[in-house]
Amino acid sequence: MKDILFMMVYPFVAACLLLLVRNDRARSAITTVSAAVIIATSVLVTYNYFGKPEVFTLNYELIDLLMFLAEVILGIVIILLGVKHKKYWASALGIVQVILSLYFELTLAHDTHIEHALYIDDLSVIMVLIIGIIGSLITVYAVGYMRDFQKHHAGEKDRRPWFFFLMFVFLSAMYGIVLSNSLVWMLFFWEITTLCSFALIGFTKTDDAINNSFRQLILNLIGGIAFVSANIILAHDYGVLELDKLLSMDVGAQYVLLAVGLLCVAGIVKSAQMPFHSWLLGAMVAPTPISALLHSSTMVKAGVFMVLKLSPLLCGNIIGWMVMAVGAVTFLMASMAAVSQTNAKRVLAYSTISNLGLIVTCAGVGTPEAVWAGIMLTVFHAITKSLMFLCVGTVEHHIGSRDIEDMDGLFTRMPRIALMMLIGIAGMFLAPLGMLISKWAAITSFIDSEYLIAIVCVVFGSAVTSFYWTKWMGKLVAIISNGEGCEDTVHKQEWFVLRTLVVLTVLVCMAFPLLSDVLVIPWLEHAFGPVGDLSVTTLTDENKLILLIMLVALFLVFIPFFGKSKRRVVSNYLAGVGDGNRSYTGSMGTTVEVNLRNWYMTSWFGEDRIGRIGSILASVTLIVVMVGVAGGVFL
């Protein structure tokens, strides 16, 4: 248990140290060493506990009291911040949560015995690896990125100590979420991630940043209220506040079903599902490392972790149907909205929301096959999406734009970064890479379960997904002669992290059968009982060899584009008197600039229109089902 406690506490200690450090070289050293320690500890915990679920008993009364006091203080801070910035919805929801927390602590908490505060199983181990490896790599990348960020904001106060403090507290809180068996502890860490996200999104303190940080806070306070309400129901009616005990309860009982539904609502909000998705889009105003942290290894992954953990209770009931429907609608609508975006970070944001929707759909279906696909999607998405976000951040700092239309000739200007982006995009939608295989497994499980809504949404959503990724890939592979290289000034920390993520993308895709056999299937057998041979995971040795050959061949295709080349690149033929690479003299003697642009179909896939439709569908589903369960209509 000492290794687990160390893993939870160490990032917080590193955060406090980084808050005090002002020297850039010292900050870089502390961040790098801390990231290495966190990664090593995560691997050690994985080695010690995979395949061996274990619960831990702690003397938690003092800790519970401290957590309660911290929650109240933070709640008061939220209320005051809402009043200060005239965001009264934040203040109102903060008051509601503080009142519910006081009621729970004063009337129920002391009468409910929590035997095991911490718990680790193979799903927790997978999350520990995602948080520890991907999250830590992002903090290392942030060292170089924030150095450039500060140069671009030279006239402003250097707030990097606060930035790195928040990032490491974030990691500590995420460990708390995935390792807590006590729902009281999990709620505390859940709220810490909400507040860290609030501070990080508002880091630049612009009006846009402040507005979007409060949007995140308001929406996630709704999830927090749902979470604490579930705890009140479970404590009041059943005397249960432990996740492992909840998973063994009869979901046919009305208030158990209602509590599970409220916890799922909390997970849906945290994973940015419609109608709560706007907070994740707003997070794009933050510096790129924050976007990568929120989208890949923390925050949203807490939401999908919750619904995946509850998935054994969701199969075949109305709450499972609700979760499945919201996830499926989100996947389809977010994929459509991504088509109309030219901002690379916004495309990645909608892609994140849609992929999280697919994971939530898998959890809602609740069969072992569907949950297998959901877990594998979680792993592949964390790696490839962090790679894509960090590549976009590096490109933005060096070409001055994150617009996809400005990425023509990136292979000439930043060949290695362009190659890495291509690998990241390929990892999101091309065969035989992990995301596509997991998506195929999800569709197969939906067909077996006869969920028509899920099948239709995933089939059409996948087609749309291929469309926007292909457009972006086409921009990247365009070659323009005489382009000026601007790759030499990329910081060494950024190179190290990007190369590591590329290697991880390849290795995890190659090793996914091993990951499935060693971690995912054992957890499914523990959660669901004997699952036998899952058709979606069964691959013959011959098929595995074919997939491996295809994978190697896919990456070999990109090698000729990598680095410097002796090949001669000629100017583009423009059917006129060429004045240069991208212009020609027209018939009237005027210079005409050539501009090749993608078609974004905003009249069909505009984000306001698509978001409104998706939000209405998801809102109606959530309200009807939750009100019906509370009233006993669906029992």
Q: Which pLDDT tens digit goes with each residue over 423-444?
A: 888 888 776 666 778 888 888 8
CB-based contacts of 401: which residues, under 8 Å, 6+ apart? none
What average pLDDT does the structure give for the chain?
Answer: 86
**Per-residue model confidence as pLDDT tens digits over 333-380:** 999 999 988 889 899 999 999 999 999 999 999 999 999 999 999 999
Give the CA diameter of the chain. 88
Instruction: Say what the pLDDT of residue 149 is.
Output: 87
**Per-residue model confidence as pLDDT tens digits over 285-343:** 888 899 888 877 677 889 999 999 999 999 889 999 999 999 999 999 999 999 988 88
What DSSP letter does each residue of 548-593 carry, written as one string? HHHHHHHHHHHGGGSS------PPPP-SSEE-SSSEEE-TTS-EEE
**Per-residue model confidence as pLDDT tens digits over 111-161:** 888 888 899 999 999 999 999 999 999 999 999 989 888 887 777 888 999
What DSSP letter does each residue of 68-119 carry, written as one string? HHHHHHHHHHHHHHHHHTT-HHHHHHHHHHHHHHHHHHHHTGGGS--S-SEE
Pairwise CA distance, residues 292 & 279, whole Å: 15
pLDDT level of residue 592 (50, 70, 90 thresholds): low
Pairwise CA distance, residues 507 & 526, whole Å: 27
SS3 state at 180: strand
pLDDT level of residue 613 (50, 70, 90 thresholds): very high
Pairwise CA distance, residues 110 & 117, whole Å: 15
> DSSP character for 489?
T
Instruction: Say what the pLDDT of residue 566 is.
Output: 47
* Cβ pair 222, 93 in contact under 8 A: yes
Average pLDDT on 538-545 reads 60
Instruction: Say what the pLDDT of residue 71 is.
Output: 87
* Cβ pair 209, 202 in contact under 8 A: yes
* Cβ pair 301, 382 in contact under 8 A: yes
**Per-residue model confidence as pLDDT tens digits over 409-421:** 787 788 888 888 9
> DSSP character for 482?
T
Instruction: Say what the pLDDT of residue 152 is.
Output: 79
Pairwise CA distance, residues 28 & 536, whole Å: 44
pLDDT level of residue 269 (50, 70, 90 thresholds): very high
**Per-residue model confidence as pLDDT tens digits over 5-52:** 999 999 999 999 999 998 999 999 999 999 999 999 999 999 999 888
Asked whether the predicted pLDDT for residue 562 surpasses 60, the reply is no
Asked whether the predicted pLDDT for residue 565 surpasses 50, the reply is no
Instruction: Say what the pLDDT of residue 115 is.
Output: 85
**Per-residue model confidence as pLDDT tens digits over 159-191:** 999 999 999 999 999 999 999 999 999 999 999
Pairwise CA distance, residues 315 & 60, whole Å: 34
pLDDT level of residue 543 (50, 70, 90 thresholds): low
Asked whether the predicted pLDDT for residue 577 surpasses 90, the reply is no
Residue 438 has a CB neighbour count (10 Å cut-off) of 26
Pairwise CA distance, residues 163 & 13, whole Å: 15
Pairwise CA distance, residues 287 & 456, whole Å: 36
Instruction: Say what the pLDDT of residue 86 is.
Output: 92
Amino acid present at 452: L
Asked whether the predicted pLDDT for residue 581 surpasses 70, the reply is no
Asked whether the predicted pLDDT for residue 546 surpasses 80, the reply is no
> Look-up: residue for tokens 């584009």?
561
Q: Please state which of the ranges 69-83, 102-116, 420-434 shows the lowest mean pLDDT.
A: 420-434
Rounded (5°) CA angle 245-250-251:
105
Instruction: Say what the pLDDT of residue 586 is.
Output: 63
